[in-house]
Amino acid sequence: MAFKIASSPHVSTTLHTNKVMQRVALCLIPGILAQVYFFGMGTLVQILIAVLTCLSAEAAIMKLRNKSIKNALSDNSALVTGILIAIAIPPLTPWWMTVIGCGFAMVIVKHLYGGLGNNIFNPAMAAYVLLLVSFPVQMTNWVAPAELAANQVGIVAAFAHIFEFTSAGLDHFRIAVDGHTMATPLDTFKTDLSMGMTSSESLQRNVFDGMTGVGWFWINLAYLAGGLIMLKLNVIRWHISTGILLAIFVCSGFGFLLNPDTHASPMLHLFSGGTMLCAFFIATDPVTAATSTRGRLLFGAIIGVLVFVIRTYGGYPDAVAFAVLLANMCAPFIDYYIRPRSYGHRAGN
């Protein structure tokens, strides 16, 4: 009888990889719908572009490697990568940037290391960092949320701006009803603090709803709901998500207690930016995360601490992508030094 040895992901469930990825994609739907509601139809257009690009790149690479294209596409990993990239970037990002990011994720980050199970970095987050470093202006051009926007982003307008069929500037959708140009809550908060404002003064801006960002609270809540469904279905385990959220809560709570004028509250950290998306859908990638129980808790805690540190003291308002990639680098060391006890081990031996 043959004993099959395979690389990660090792999912302790009767589901195959394609079913696991399929359920991940389905559990992303609540968050996607929330993003579409608050930021317009551009998110759906980005998903279409990103998924098609990832599937095409996957097929092309498998063809070059003389491997089964059907098997590669049917595992749905390229589908999930495309969706994650699409919902992480601003909704009206030019189409060619989305293609570049997805191509980089699939060809360089995933297949250059041997394909699914061999990549050491999360492909979606590596693509995000590439785009952010290369095109910082475009990657920070989020539209105003629906409750504050002077102009809504319909499907026609989304296609026109994404495929650059119009010469109209993006500020048309970044202007709020009061005439001010909008920025994301975390970006606004960091900018205000750098200008000498206190946190309470910053939270009076219309982009905030008192404690968190307008729209962003509900988007994070929707991804939290999707994540809890995945936990219920045993698609993911609770350790990494708990480590991330607990570390963010403790670090931000401690900073807020020490100096509430210069630190964001735990609520702002937990329910703004990509916190919940990271905790349940990105960091829990079984290929690039730690594998043991204690290792996963430490892996999540590292991400949570890094998110807080970079958001508070770094140059970027949201730190999810950088934190995940840095933790990916630590995963092999975590697995080496934190190993589960051997079966039959006795204390004191």
Count the alpha carbons within 13 Å of 126 in the hemisphere toward its beta carbon.
19
Residue range 103-125, pLDDT digits in tens: 999 999 999 888 888 889 999 99
Structure pTM?
Answer: 0.88
Residue 148: CB atoms within 10 Å: 18
Task: Read off the pLDDT band of 56 (50, 70, 90).
Answer: very high
Buried residues in 36-57 as b, exposed as e (16+ CB within 10 A): bbbbbbbbbbbbbbbbebbbbb
Pull the structure tokens for residue 135: 């095109």
At 337, the amino acid letter reads Y
Residue 202, pLDDT score? 85
Nearest in space to 121 (alpha carbons), one of 327, 297, 292: 327
Q: Do residues 78 and 58 touch, judged by C-beta distance below 8 A?
A: yes
Q: Do residues 227 and 276 touch, judged by C-beta distance below 8 A?
A: yes
Domain ranges of the chain: 17-182, 184-336
Please give the mean pLDDT across all residues of the chain: 86
Of 163 and 48, the structure prediction assigns the larger pLDDT to 48
Task: Read off the pLDDT band of 60 (50, 70, 90).
Answer: very high
Residue range 127-182, pLDDT digits in tens: 999 999 999 888 888 887 766 665 667 788 888 888 877 666 555 555 554 434 45
- Helix orientation angle between 77-88 and 95-103, rounded to the nearest 10 degrees: 140
Mean pLDDT of the 94-101 span? 96
- Give the C-alpha separation, 74 to 212, whole Å: 39
Question: In this predicted structure, which of 22-26, 38-42, 262-266, 314-318 has the lowest mean pLDDT?
Answer: 314-318
Residue 297, pLDDT score? 95
Q: Do residues 282 and 273 touch, judged by C-beta distance below 8 A?
A: no
Buried residues in 10-26 as b, exposed as e (16+ CB within 10 A): ebeeeeebeebbbbbbe
Question: Which DSSP helix (H) or strand (E) runs through 200?
Answer: helix 199-202
Residue range 273-330, pLDDT digits in tens: 899 999 999 999 988 898 888 999 999 999 999 999 999 998 887 889 999 999 999 9
Q: What ranges in 28-94 are assigned the alpha helix state H?
A: 29-39, 42-64, 69-74, 77-88
Residue 196, pLDDT > 70, answer yes
Q: Do residues 290 and 335 touch, judged by C-beta distance below 8 A?
A: yes
- Give the C-alpha separation, 22 to 12, whole Å: 16
Whether a cis peptide bond, with omega within 30° of 0, leads into 266 is no
Q: Do residues 54 and 106 touch, judged by C-beta distance below 8 A?
A: yes
Residue range 245-272, pLDDT digits in tens: 999 999 999 999 999 988 989 999 999 9
Question: In this predicted structure, which of 83-97, 100-114, 167-181, 190-204 has the lowest mean pLDDT?
Answer: 167-181
Residue 82, pLDDT score? 96
Pull the structure tokens for residue 236: 């993911």
What percentage of the chain reaches a pLDDT higher than 70?
Answer: 85
Mean pLDDT of the 208-230 span? 90
Backbone angles phi, psi at 207, to 5 degrees: -70, -15
